[in-house]
Structure 1
Amino acid sequence: MKPEIKAFVFDAYGTLFDVHSVTKACDDFFPDKGEAISQGWRKKQLEYFFLRQVMGRYAPFDQVTLDALRYAVKEQQEELSHEQELALLDAYKKLDSYNEVKEVLSALQGRKLVVFSNGSPNMLEPLVEQSGFSSYLTDTLSVDKIKQFKPSPASYNQVLEELNVRREEVLFMSSNGWDISGAKSFGFHTAWINRNELPQEELGLTPDCVYTDLKGIVEWL
């Protein structure tokens, strides 16, 4: 029997939205290198916010994303103009959502449905708005308010404070294994949306359930 869940909390990047839908925009500027730049961009984005968290050198996610983009382009031995920077950062505010998301959000109506992300508000708000998800969601939370990136415990605690719920009343969903590990360690129920069929992280923290997409979470109703 599933526990009573009062808040369904979704990570954004990779969970609701496909970060690699920027590949085409990258390829338009850098032919035949779009996929490599997209992959490098995401890889460095993750590395940079992890490093900033450890070093105590917080910067908003839009800055982290820009820094990661600059590195990824240089890694491919290309030069990035200011106009290209602006266009590619704008593309990050228009990421494609995964096909099942709207159906699942609709099925969960009547509950607290919240996006909780490392993304900064100036990235998250236009992304959620253009996707058409705003009418389904209760709130969109960014760690920028407390300047502590996930998977720090302080970041997940923001969910409790903002939503006025207990840890055991939260189901946290992410496609990122590191995020699921952080949420599980904090005490949330966790659903790993393992879209790429990756092995579980070797951190001694097992998700409560694993699905290949978000459709599986409706069994928590």
Structure 2
Amino acid sequence: MATTTVIFDAYGTLFDVAAPAREAASAPGGEALAEVWEDLARLWRDKQLDYTWLRAAAGRHADFRTVTEESLDWTLASLGLEEPGLRATLLGLYDRLAAFPEVPDVLAALKARGLATGILSNGTPQMLASAVEAAGIGGHLDAVLSAEDAGIYKPAAAVYALVGRHFGCAPVEVLFVSSNGWDAAAASGYGFTSVWVNRAGAPRERLWAAPEHELTDLTPLPEIA
């Protein structure tokens, strides 16, 4: 069955999650952060994902804004960063994440082919709306779906099921795109055709399923769809 719907993860796939740390480090007064901003970006993201999985496993759901704040607090403490206002600055920047350069053209190309497009993310509706608006890509998206509607985080099947519920499509009609290897693998196991955008050149995850395609960025995606 042909692809009718292309669904994207948000953070790390469409939006650059390292941007807040990088921007804060380059701003006036960011000298202390400049030495460790890459560590901060990596630890913040890793802990953010850890907390989603731990909360899902324990049945202790909290929304992604809370998880994002808690993981940032842990990261700042682990790096000994206590500069006044840094936490608020980083969280504010996270609300208006930059999109990767190729994103607008790729989305436009998919829409030009008559495909439905959307986001499926752990982010809250408010966080996602803010990022989409800041990146100026709302006109290229038919839906922005949040795991909050399932009450659990990816890779739970209930989250992937939100796509079919909204678009009325079968899993085999969906091309799912994520920069997270575990997410792309789990989506493939759910029944989507998945694309792993391996921006970091990481090895494949050893999980119960594997993505059908692997790219280094989104540029070739319209040829796959």
TM > 0.5:
yes
Q: Deviations over 1:71-112 (max 9, x none)?
A: 00000123365x433221110012121111111111111221
Match of 1:114 among 109, 114, 118: 118
Task: Please list, as runs of the form range in 1=range in 2, the aligned pairs for 1:134-173 lying within 5 A after superposition.
Answer: 134-173=138-177
Match of 2:37 among 5, 13, 34: 34
1:29: Cα distance to partner?
7.2
1:55 counterpart = 2:58: yes
Structure-1 residue corresponding to 2:104: 102
**8 Å contact from structure 2 (residues 97, 134) kept in 1:** no
Match of 2:188 among 184, 187, 194: 184
Write the letter of the residue equivalent to 1:76: L
Write the letter of the residue equivalent to 1:115: I
Alpha-carbon distance in structure 1 between the residues aligned to 2:94 and 2:195:
25
Task: Please list, as runs of the form range in 1=range in 2, the aligned pairs for 1:1-12 lying within 5 A after superposition.
Answer: 3-12=1-10
Alpha-carbon distance in structure 2 between the residues aligned to 1:43 and 1:58:
18
Q: Deviations over 1:182-207 (max 9, x none)?
A: 10111110011111111111114221
1:197 counterpart = 2:201: yes
Task: Please list, as runs of the form range in 1=range in 2, the aligned pairs for 1:62-101 lying within 5 A after superposition.
Answer: 62-79=65-82, 81=84, 83-101=85-103
Calculate percent identity across the aligned residue pairs. Answer: 36
Name the CA shift for 1:166/1:29 in 2 (closer, same or farther; >3 Å): farther
**8 Å contact from structure 1 (residues 153, 186) kept in 2:** yes
Name the CA shift for 1:134/1:183 in 2 (closer, same or farther; >3 Å): same
Q: Deviations over 1:152-172 (max 9, x none)?
A: 111111111111110100000
Unaligned runs of 5+ in 1: none
CA RMSD in angstroms, aligned pairs only: 1.4
Name the CA shift for 1:181/1:91 in 2 (closer, same or farther; >3 Å): same
**TM-score in terms of structure 2 length:** 0.92
Structure-2 residue corresponding to 1:21: 19
1:40: Cα distance to partner?
1.2
Aligned residues: 218
Unaligned runs of 5+ in 2: none
**8 Å contact from structure 1 (residues 191, 208) kept in 2:** yes
